[in-house]
Amino acid sequence: MPKVTHIVLNLESKPGVLANVAGVLGSAGINLEGICAAESAGRGKIRLLVADAAKAESALKAAKIRCGREEAVTVALENRPGAMAEAAQKLAKARINIKCAYATTGATGPAMAVFTVSNVPKALAALGG
């Protein structure tokens, strides 16, 4: 269960913003491994999980798109009902706040969950990493 780095963007919520960001990264040869995008009060917060955070940050800055970094943890979960609840409960018992969570899964095999948390080292320990 590795520690990972999100690229974080706080942008205006309007048509074409995500297309522009994804296009910049795609043109730079950067693959998106995970994405969480939410909108609140006309602003969008996009968290991107990429293979090379430094390269992604450089490409976005060259395109005049401001971004930052945020640490997160990933955990492989069994692909079954209740697996996410068990992981979240471990974090809750360790008194770790989950700021953002998203997961991916296929029809078979494990799911991958990504947690942006208040304390990454403590979260890694709580989740057994």
102 and 65 in a single domain? The answer is no
pLDDT of 106 above 90? no
The domain tally of the chain equals: 2
3-12 and 43-50: which strand pairing? antiparallel
66 and 84 in a single domain? The answer is no
Domain with 120, as residue range(s), is 72-126
101 and 60 in a single domain? The answer is no
Residue 105 is part of a domain; what is its CATH number? 3.30.70.260
53 and 76 in a single domain? The answer is no
pLDDT of residue 18: 92
Q: What is the pLDDT of residues 2-22, one digit of tens each?
A: 889 999 999 999 899 999 999
Q: Which residue has the higher pLDDT, 42 or 89?
A: 89
Residue 45 is part of a domain; what is its CATH number? 3.30.2130.10
pLDDT-based confidence at residue 40 (cuts at 50, 70, 90) = confident
Total-model pTM: 0.85
